[in-house]
Structure 1
Amino acid sequence: MAEIGARLPRLPRLAWLVPLVAMLAAMALVVHDPVPLRVARNAVFDQFQRWHPRPYLAPPVRIIDIDEESLRRIGQWPWSRAQVARLLDATRQLEPASVSLDIMFPEPEGQTRADAGGRASDDPDQTLAQALRRGRVALGVALTGPRQGGDAADAAGGPLLFKAGFIAVGGEPTRSVPAFSSSVSNLRDLQLAAAGQGAMTFMPDVDGVVRRVPLLFSLQGRPVPSLTAEALRLAAGADAYVVHAAADAGGVIDLRIGTHRIDTDQTGALWMHFARPQAERYLPAWQVLEGRVPPASLKGRIVLIGTSAQGLLDLRFSPLGGVIPGVEVHAQALEQIVSGQQLRRPGWVPATEAIVALIGCIAVGIVAMRARPGRSSLLFLGLVGAIGLAAWTSFRFGRLLLDPGAPVLAMALVFAPTMLMRHRWAERRQRWMQTTFSRYVSPNLIDYLVANPQALELGGRRQRCSFVFTDLQGFTARMETMDPAVAVSVLNTYLDRMIAIAFKHDGTLDRIVGDAVAIMFSAPVPQADHEARALRCALEMQAFAREHVDALQRQGIAFCDTRIGVHTGEVTVGNFGGATLFDYRALGDPVNTAARLEGANKFLGTSLCVSEDTLRGCPGAVTRPVGRLRLAGRSTYLMVHEAQAADGQSVEADVDYASAFEWMRRGDDAALAAFEVLAAQRPDDKLVALHVTRLRAGSRDDAIDLLAK
């Protein structure tokens, strides 16, 4: 056993390279933050929002909706500029804090129109400009094209005219915000008349979902506010934006608009926390035009004018599922700013997530290398649960966006290959143990104990099993005449092959006593066909034993014939012994009976005796009936047969013998004559000679008493 222990496979020190390399790869992935990782992060944040949408606190933000009913009552879009002016005037009379148009007017409306009296009416563009001057109104513009060199190009409407100033604190903010090279703006007269202008441009993620609303843009290096920011600035009465940015192009930190401090990401975007759709957020445009809106419904509120009509295609995907009008995205952004329900993901969060990922990778790697798989898995799952709970708690109660996906993925990238390597090593170690110890016990017993370690407890159970006992006739005396080295070599070769045959048929080695072998079937693993297995095993052992004797005879070595007994019955199987030694075996009368049948062969002149109890489970087996034996120590008779072939083997039944035996079994006087004829034909058939001797001595049936063991 010392030699075995020296060869026991051990985990090499180089195995630590697996978690180390995996950790380095995982941390590189976390730092690089590829698109799939960002998509996974967005999916987690979306799920958080579905679990806990932003509570709607009825903040002072309203949408005047050019909905389907308004289009039906007033006319299809586009409306006349004069109609829009009337809508603005009707809105102004309700005293809103500011009004923002999620609509553009890049081109003149057309010719001067004539009224009913034939006089030229006012220019509709000028009518709209006058309505803009009478209130605090912001217009929407569109930014287009990637950032390029040269001057800003305007597709329509002329150069952009912005009314607000920008005060930069720290670094230069335009280096990190979304940059564009051109714009589609409003008519110059409308720009001059409006109190402000803001970009309506959204920056959806790769899946088309709007999760962040940019508050700042860059147009050829000039800072440009969004429509959301302009609506808030006009309502707050501020003249300028204060942008706090990190030095060395580190990105935007926050944005101050009047008394509001808005935490943004490094690109100057506001993380959206969407509330569920609310009917009170909208006022139909036709009701405002017809004066059906309560006077206090818009007083002091931030008002956005836009459309929810599906035909106008201003629809956006929401993390809550489905689509919402683009104007509602602006409204929800304003709601969470004004009500103090902002989501935050400060610049220190990615670094913190990377540190958590690193600590988690180290912990998981060490435990996975040292602890058992169950404990390692519990730690991994515990860390995953703790990180997920921390992220959810931060979102739910602190409105802080922490990504659990990056640390969890990093730990999984360390845990999985490490556990796989440990599993492969454990399999190799287990295979080594099975190969090694299968030389001491049966392979099927090893497999059973590996799968059922609880079977290593003392105790047993009742089980119907089949047994095969073999022995070499006269081998003890033969060894005394043989060279000891030759005797041991010949015996080892014989036993090795006999045991291999038993294992081939999934038999369990019960014991080896000298040159005798005991094989058990249907234990420890139950086998429905254990009787047939036992018979096939015994017949193959018999065939090998005869070939082995002939082979040794040709080498000049005299060997012994093998006797085999097979029996089936209910026994107690299990572990017997004590704390010092386990011995897995079967106890019961069927075990002794199988041994007695093996010994009965020398009196019967046979080499393989099988009981009728075994043959009941071997339909199609070819046998010769021996008779009813009363074995030593038994008071009852047992019907025994000489096996010749198992089911499926092409061996013809001995019809002449069967006929003679039937006469003997019935007590017919013709039995003696029949057996005498067979004896003359088969002078070497010892079983026939036995029956002739018995019948001549006065026996009248097939009952045989064997009083010796």
Structure 2
Amino acid sequence: MKNLSLHALGWLLGLCLAVLGLLLLLTDPLLLQTLRHQGFDQYQRWQPRAYEPAPVRIVDIDEASLERLGQWPWPRTRIAEMVQRLSDAGAAAIGFDVVFAEPDRTSPRALAALWPLDDATRARLLDLPDHDERLAETLQGRDVVLGFAVRRDQAPEPEQRMPAAPYRYVWVGPPAPEVLHGFTTAVPSLERLDTAAAGNGALTFMPDGDGVVRRVPLVLRLGEQPVPTLVTETLRVGQGARNHLLKTAESGAPALQAVRVGDVSIPTTDRGEMWVHYSLPVAQRYLPAWRVLAGDFDPAAVEGHLMLVGSSAQGLMDLRFNPLGRIMPGVEAHAQALEQALTGHFLVRPHWALPLEAMLVVVGAIVLAWVAVRAAALLAAGVAALLMAGVLWLGWWSFSREGLLLDTFTPALVWLLTFIVSSLAHHFWSERQQRFIKSAFARYVSPNRVDYLVNHPEALELGGKRQTCSFVFTDLAGFTSLMEKIDPGEALTLLNRYLEEMISIAFRHQGTLDRIVGDAVAIMFSAPVPQPDHPQRALRCALEMHAFATRYAQDLQAKGIAFGHTRLGVHAGEVIVGNFGGSVIFDYRALGDPVNTAARLESVNKHLGTRICVSEAIWAACDGEGVMARPIGRLVLKGKTEALKVYEPLTAETPAGYAPLAAYQAAYEAMAQGRAEAVAHFAQLAARFPDDPLVRLHHRRLQDGEPAALSARADLIVLDDK
């Protein structure tokens, strides 16, 4: 991303996140399935199916029926009686959400084998009608559908009996049994019941991973053959139809599109399931089993109806979760699916849903990524929120108005991820750009000034404020003449190395670069950020600069390059600090007499013969810094009327020819106090230390009688030149 433009970054992120979104959509991990299902469930909670009276009823083996008629399983004779009463009342079909896989344990024959009876009693029991035979006789010729279970956890045995198939499957389109949910074995009802019934349907649900029954299978695969479920078989028997028609896609991947039974066509998923749009519980859907057996029911509630026999009793463990967040009897899922089939109310996930969702993912990811990296943060967030709200509203509108199940949650999730990633990328890119700009800007402006402006943009206004600051001014002696003696390019290289280190020293002490004029540098302390210890910083900075400049010059002089020495002036005082200029361009600097004084102190070194001059304003604040210094005198700089006491620091770079500090100090104190022995002191020092510039200066002044009288404070030096 080093040289990547913001425009290219937007496109690159958009394409990458679009590809990632497509992979998520196509692989459909469990997390996305859960998100999608929870979204569809919420739609149903917001808008459950409005119950429409449909010819479908549940004969409920409820708790009241068990209390009145005894525990389950009931004798098959009671089941036969129920079938008889429902059939006589005109039921169109009777479907059992029950598997009669084992013989009735209450049959006379079973009891004769179980109880210790005498031969006569056993013979009389064996002469009584068998309950299963009685039920089989009742089923014969009546429109009854029995249930069977299917399993896939074991291989079929050679003698495994398959459920009777009084139906026929017809494929409309290319046969595709492989798309159906497959099972290997079946647990049908007793053979005599199985063959006597008008139909047989599988009772198996295919709940999702969270146990919620959202879809009801209409056709399954047992071995290699399609088999109906209780819903489609009850629908077939109730219409007196013979065939189940399975409509498949004419092109593309094998997929089921619809199941047609008689006059009813039901759209399905690719695997032959029906999405159930659940209604809220209604009492008229249920008819207690005890009322049927007691004959205490309205025949109009049965005539022409598809009657499903199941149980809501908690002890019988046929309870399921539905999308409305409630527990329901398993038979209710079959009943609600039949209600939808008969009323023509369907939930459909159309075949074009996935391409549409893929297009939304790709287009939205690219647009959002581009907006997130190009637009302002608030605008980008607004666009992202608007797009996500719009696509989620599209999903809800499609469900509530058209009964379509569109997965707009995955696009919204991918868009949210795109916005977050792109915003972070934009943030990091902007930070990188800011670091680059800051780094580049710091080459023109002091780093601490750049930091201050970044954190205080309001400081970029014209004007200034009063502030006490310290200043270090430097100048390089003899550089103009050096330019005349050596190649200008070489001279420029030497100067740049010199200035680079001088400025680096200033920055190490958190100084602000005020200006560079040729080979001269001006450094300011305590602006823009106040520094309580600014005099100490200024002194330490000046001493380090002096040390470097001395070594640099000595190294070059040893190579035969006449690089001059550096003069430094250090002073502190109250100035006006701020931005000065106009509306087009302005400069950040300090204005005031202390600035001019610091510059004059740097310049006065050439008259004094010193390398560094520090004003009393600095030196008084640095007491205890561990630096030795000797007074130069009280200077009246050109254009000034008041004297300024100035000091020369003594460092490791001080030349060997300087007088001892104690001896110089004694001579200076005598001169400052107007004592006559000052002349003798400086004469002696001048004889012993002729290379000491200050000794030479004061000796000359005293000899020449520059001070009118010693009593006039001979340490006062009036300068006529800058």
Give the TM-score range, shorter chain. Answer: 0.7 to 0.9
Aligned amino acid, residue 228 of structure 1: V
Aligned amino acid, residue 222 of structure 2: L
Q: 1:29 aligns with which of 15, 23, 37?
A: 23
1:263 maps to 2:258? no
* Conserved? CA contact 1:213–1:270, under 8 Å: yes
Give, in whole Å, the separation in 1 of the partners of 2:644 and 2:281.
88
Deviates more, 1:479-488 or 1:413-422: 413-422
* Conserved? CA contact 2:139–2:196, under 8 Å: yes
Q: 1:195 aligns with which of 195, 198, 201?
A: 198
Partner of 2:655: none
Give, in whole Å, the separation in 1 of the partners of 2:662 and 2:295.
120
Deviation at 1:186, TM superposition (A): 0.7
Give, in whole Å, the separation in 2 of the partners of 1:546 and 1:43.
74
Give, in whole Å, the separation in 2 of the partners of 1:528 and 1:336.
83
* Conserved? CA contact 1:18–1:418, under 8 Å: no
Report matched runs for 1:606-621 at 5 Å: 607=612, 609=614, 621=625
Distance 1:165 1:593, change over 3 A: farther
Deviation at 1:544, TM superposition (A): 1.4
Give, in whole Å, the separation in 1 of the partners of 2:279 and 2:522.
78
Give, in whole Å, the separation in 1 of the partners of 2:390 and 2:291.
52
Partner of 1:515: 519
1:396 match: secondary structure: helix
Partner of 2:51: 58
* Cα deviations by residue, 1:161-212 (Å, 9 ceiling, x for unpaired): 2334444333325343223332111112222343322111122345554432
2:556 match: secondary structure: helix
Give, in whole Å, the separation in 2 of the partners of 1:229 and 1:39.
32
Report matched runs for 1:357-376 at 5 Å: 357=361, 359-360=363-364
Give, in whole Å, the separation in 2 of the partners of 1:542 and 1:500.
13
Partner of 1:330: 334
Partner of 1:103: 98
Aligned amino acid, residue 567 of structure 1: A
* Conserved? CA contact 2:18–2:362, under 8 Å: no
Aligned amino acid, residue 202 of structure 1: F
Deviation at 1:687, TM superposition (A): 8.0
Report matched runs for 1:13-92 at 5 Å: 22=16, 25-26=19-20, 29=23, 33-36=26-29, 39-53=31-45, 54-60=47-53, 61-66=56-61, 75-85=70-80
Partner of 2:564: 559
Identity of counterpart residues, as a percentage?
38
Deviation at 1:642, TM superposition (A): 6.9
1:218 maps to 2:221? yes
1:124 maps to 2:105? no
Distance 1:699 1:73, change over 3 A: farther
Deviates more, 1:630-639 or 1:380-389: 630-639
Deviation at 1:572, TM superposition (A): 3.5
Give, in whole Å, the separation in 2 of the partners of 1:682 and 1:459.
54
* Conserved? CA contact 2:148–2:201, under 8 Å: yes
Give, in whole Å, the separation in 1 of the partners of 2:339 and 2:323.
17
Deviates more, 1:229-238 or 1:526-535: 526-535
1:181 maps to 2:184? yes
Aligned amino acid, residue 123 of structure 1: D
* Conserved? CA contact 1:469–1:518, under 8 Å: yes
Give, in whole Å, the separation in 2 of the partners of 1:174 and 1:306.
29
Partner of 1:651: none
* Conserved? CA contact 2:266–2:341, under 8 Å: yes
Give, in whole Å, the separation in 1 of the partners of 2:525 and 2:286.
82
2:147 match: secondary structure: strand
Aligned amino acid, residue 561 of structure 1: T
Deviation at 1:245, TM superposition (A): 2.1
* Conserved? CA contact 1:460–1:574, under 8 Å: yes
Give, in whole Å, the separation in 2 of the partners of 1:322 and 1:656.
101
* Conserved? CA contact 2:567–2:611, under 8 Å: no
Aligned amino acid, residue 139 of structure 1: L
TM-score, length-normalised on structure 1? 0.74
Give, in whole Å, the separation in 2 of the partners of 1:22 and 1:272.
37
Partner of 2:231: 228
Distance 1:329 1:542, change over 3 A: farther
Deviation at 1:109, TM superposition (A): 2.2
Q: 2:309 aligns with which of 300, 305, 319?
A: 305
* Conserved? CA contact 2:48–2:277, under 8 Å: no
Give, in whole Å, the separation in 1 of the partners of 2:616 and 2:129.
120
Partner of 2:656: none
Q: 1:574 aligns with which of 579, 585, 590?
A: 579
Aligned amino acid, residue 550 of structure 1: Q
Distance 1:433 1:333, change over 3 A: same
1:543 maps to 2:547? yes
Give, in whole Å, the separation in 2 of the partners of 1:635 and 1:536.
29
Larger Rg: 2
* Conserved? CA contact 1:469–1:519, under 8 Å: yes
* Cα deviations by residue, 1:613-671 (Å, 9 ceiling, x for unpaired): 8987x8974456869988777899989877789xxxxxxxx9989x999x99x9999x9
Partner of 1:3: none
2:152 match: secondary structure: strand
Aligned amino acid, residue 189 of structure 1: R
Distance 1:640 1:77, change over 3 A: farther
1:142 maps to 2:149? yes
Distance 1:167 1:436, change over 3 A: same
* Cα deviations by residue, 1:232-259 (Å, 9 ceiling, x for unpaired): 4445554443332223673222223344
Give, in whole Å, the separation in 1 of the partners of 2:345 and 2:96.
24
Distance 1:443 1:56, change over 3 A: same
Distance 1:298 1:624, change over 3 A: farther
Distance 1:177 1:495, change over 3 A: same
Deviation at 1:421, TM superposition (A): 8.6
1:161 match: secondary structure: coil
1:573 match: secondary structure: strand
Give, in whole Å, the separation in 1 of the partners of 2:279 and 2:440.
67
Give, in whole Å, the separation in 1 of the partners of 2:289 and 2:645.
105
* Conserved? CA contact 1:467–1:568, under 8 Å: yes
1:170 maps to 2:162? no
2:50 match: secondary structure: coil
Partner of 2:393: 389
Deviation at 1:269, TM superposition (A): 1.0
Distance 1:558 1:254, change over 3 A: closer
* Cα deviations by residue, 1:467-502 (Å, 9 ceiling, x for unpaired): 542222644676588546365444332212111223
Give, in whole Å, the separation in 1 of the partners of 2:285 and 2:640.
99
1:229 match: secondary structure: helix
Give, in whole Å, the separation in 1 of the partners of 2:175 and 2:311.
36
* Cα deviations by residue, 1:301-359 (Å, 9 ceiling, x for unpaired): 55443345555444445455576543343344334444544211122222333444455
- Which consecutive unaligned segments of at least 5 residues does structure 2 have? 652-659
Give, in whole Å, the separation in 1 of the partners of 2:619 and 2:238.
99
Partner of 1:497: 501
Give, in whole Å, the separation in 1 of the partners of 2:339 and 2:38.
19
* Conserved? CA contact 2:539–2:570, under 8 Å: no
Distance 1:52 1:686, change over 3 A: farther
Distance 1:389 1:57, change over 3 A: closer
The aligned length equals 682
* Conserved? CA contact 1:473–1:563, under 8 Å: no
Give, in whole Å, the separation in 1 of the partners of 2:641 and 2:210.
87
Deviates more, 1:178-187 or 1:239-248: 239-248
Partner of 1:649: none
Give, in whole Å, the separation in 2 of the partners of 1:542 and 1:184.
101
* Cα deviations by residue, 1:387-408 (Å, 9 ceiling, x for unpaired): 3432332223322122235656
